[in-house]
Structure 1
Amino acid sequence: MPPTDASAGAGPVPVHPGRPCHPGRSGPAENTGDCEDTGNCADTRDCADTLDLRMPAELRALFAAKTADRPAPGPVDAPDLLDHVGAWGPTPTPVGSFQLVPAQVERDLPVIDRWMDDPAVARFWQLGGSPTETEDHLRAQITGDGRSVPCLGLLDGIPMSYWEIYRADLDPLARRYPARPHDTGLHLLIGDVADRGKGLGSVLLRAVADLVLDHRPACARVVAEPDLHNTPSVAAFLNAGYRYAAEVDLPGKRAALMIRDRSLRHLM
């Protein structure tokens, strides 16, 4: 699962330490994350309640279209799996106007690859040193089935962070905790060193969680899985109103499952 770089002032904390847990991959050791209060589920056999999750109608429609060798159904038949992240627009925060903009390889690869080459970031995202690997990572999401959307985070119009907004209930992560339909996961990376260590991670983690809950009415929880040993990242999630729910074993890391509940958003 991708990293959750929300450390309240720590380095590049991917909202999921390590690599993102998107289909076929293990998430980054993010520097920020969140999960539900359910105990450990290190083995799929311990998560029986997640194995019978039904595939959403919109995803079944996409698969059916591919099987029939015809174009995927349009918006009316197959709603966007993440409710059109690109249309969410800007939101005010204590540090400025923030907006998520879906990434484009041709436009954004240079800056994202530069961020990934930072040793502090590469330690968690494992994408440093090869522009091709970063490009493949982006394209796999952009050309995928829509369950994960890579984005640039713009603060007052300036790119300063990288995000991945994904359907946690459709991700391998769902095998590790009692997932609920429409659970939405976050991975975050604060790009420049100058923007780290100032508490931006916590501010933005809260802002993006609110964006998810405001624009995804079916979503009751925002989740993340930062590396358990990434104390600054875990602290950033806690400061952003996420609760520590459990510890989970993920490929390459022991993660802290962090969760921000819709029902508690105005209390935490």
Structure 2
Amino acid sequence: MSSDIITIHTRVSSDLHTPRPTEPIRPLFEDNESESELEEPPQSIVEKLHLPNRIALHVTTDGRDDCKVDFECNDLKWGIEISSSSTYPTLHDDVLSFRYYVNEDNQEEYALFKVWVMLFWYFQLPAPSADLIPNKQGSPRGSWQVHFNNTGPFFKLANLQAVEAAGLVSFPDSGAASGEWIGAYATRVGFWQLPPEPFLNPVCTSKKPLHMPKPVEYTFTDRVRHPVRPRPQPNGDMYTRWIPSFGQFLTFRLTDLDEDTEVVHRWMNDPRVSMFWGEEAEDPEKTRSFLKKGLGSKHFFPIIGCWDDEPFGYFEVYWVKEDALGRYASDVDMWDRGVHCLVGEQKFRGPHRVGVWISGLVHFMFLDDPRTQTVMLEPRVDNTKFIKYLVDAGFYKEKEFAFPHKQAALMKLKREAWEGPLC
């Protein structure tokens, strides 16, 4: 082990700092000997998280000093220390430093992995208040962020350049001739827009195929010009994320005719579902044909949502431009996405879960193609409960309009306004 240190620091005015609470004043000659003999040393707290590739990550907080955090993933171990103006996390004031760091053979790859994991853990902590002026009504709001200093593994310029090239950090001065390597920062909202796979190579037993945005080629559908769409990959999960608040994996995968026809058929025959979908049928073959048609579509694909690999819902992810919605929505971009939603399992319904899977769907669509700037939904106007869930998730209602089969509310969420997935 080396004694290299990497520091994350901030540049916020001290006027915004909250002072640490002071320790109570004790009598000068107080006898605490017997009391200290009875006290047991605080126990370390070990939290088990999972990376998107399902590899376990053990995070240990020192019971005597909760500002010291150790990470262990496979055979890799490293530790950080957090200093702050108050109890962390804060919006801008936390300072994260590596207490110890091992220089592996491929230093750039391992530096990327360890910084990504550190931010993966940190940005899943309870979000601090975004108010820049505490206790002030109408306070301006800031973005949750941390800043990097070029020390430790980033003392090597190649490492710092690799972190910037990977999109983990930005610089206040983006001029090519500035030559400045100070003030690098990472934000929560920016972090969650990065696909995790490129950072997980040091702990990957099997690597997924490289996923890149499809080069632009154009075609026509019903006289609508739009890009040729990439085919969804049929093998494995399309999206996987560990949800600490539930202690479960949330996944989305492509629908499988043999595996999913029976469960989707049961869901479609639930009166609560058929009221909005109208796909009830006695014969499962009708449901199978419905799913087969979706799998053969060029502009949408059906997926199954799962909690710990147990199916809970059916979703259709589509490209708005060539969809029927594209004729009604305004300012539709070539890469805007939409989604239809159905939750079939009773035990997975309710507001405590819906916000998480909605944010997961949005996360998936923003990761799937970085050119997607807006996600849209068009629920029926009398589906007021779901519309409220969407508003709570950050969507806004642009207007109502009349489809041939329903009166719909056009709900939109722009990437710029998205604050990241719920954890």
Length-normalised TM-score, structure 2: 0.43
* Cα distance, 1:157–1:172 mapped onto 2, change above 3 Å: same
* 8 Å Cα contact 2:374/2:412 also seen in 1: yes
Asked whether the equivalents of residues 363 and 420 of structure 2 are also in contact (C-alpha less than 8 Å), the reply is no
Q: Deviations over 1:17-65 (max 9, x none)?
A: xxxxxxxxxxxxxxxxxxxxxxxxxxxxxxxxxxxxxxx95462999xx
Query: Does the CA-based 8 Å contact 1:100-1:154 persist in structure 2?
Result: yes
| Matching residue within 271, 289, 311 for 1:119 | 271
SS in 2 for 1:110: helix
Give the gaps of 5 or more residues in structure 2. 1-214
CA distance 1:99–1:59, change in 2 (3 Å):
farther
Distance in 2 (CA, whole Å) between partners of 1:227 and 1:154 is 25
Q: Could you list the per-position Cα deviations for residues 64-112 of structure 1 after superposition, in whole angstroms to 9, with x for gaps in the alignment?
A: xxxxxxxxxxxxx966166889663302334332111100111110011
Is residue 296 of structure 2 the alignment partner of residue 143 of structure 1? yes
1:91 aligns with 2:91: no
- For the Cα contact (< 8 Å) 1:91–1:97, is it kept in 2? yes
Equivalent residues in 2 for 1:86-235, closer than 5 Å: 88-93=238-243, 94-95=245-246, 96-130=248-282, 131-145=284-298, 147-178=299-330, 179-235=332-388
Alignment CA distance shift 1:85-1:173 (3 Å): farther
**Bigger Rg over Cα:** 2
Which deviations, in whole Å up to 9, do the C-alpha atoms of 1:176-217 show, x marking residues without a partner? 111221110111111112222343222211111011112211
| Structure with the higher helix share, 1 or 2 | 1
- Where 1:80 maps in the other structure, the secondary structure is coil
| Secondary structure in structure 2 of the residue aligned to 1:199 | helix
Q: Higher relative contact order by CA 8 Å / sep ≥ 6: 1 or 2?
A: 1
Partners of 1:181 and 1:194 lie apart in 2 by: 37
Distance in 2 (CA, whole Å) between partners of 1:82 and 1:115 is: 24
Tell me the number of residue pairs that the alignment of Structure 1 and Structure 2 aligns: 199
User: Identity percentage over the alignment?
Assistant: 25
- Counterpart amino acid of residue 238 in structure 2: W
Tell me: CA distance 1:61–1:233, structure 2 relative to 1, closer, same or farther (3 Å).
Answer: closer
Distance 1:202 1:159 in 2: 17
Aligned to 1:60: 219
Higher share in strand: 2
TM-superposed CA distance for 1:251, in Å, is 2.4
**1:168·1:185 contact (CA, 8 Å) conserved in 2?**
yes
Over aligned residues, Cα RMSD in angstroms? 2.8
Change in Cα spacing, 1:193 to 1:267, as seen in structure 2 (3 Å) is closer
Contact 1:82 1:166 in 2 (8 A): no
Match of 1:241 in 2: 394
CA contact (8 A) 2:376 2:410 kept: yes
SS at match of 1:170: coil
Residues of 1 paired with 2:307 and 2:320: CA distance? 26
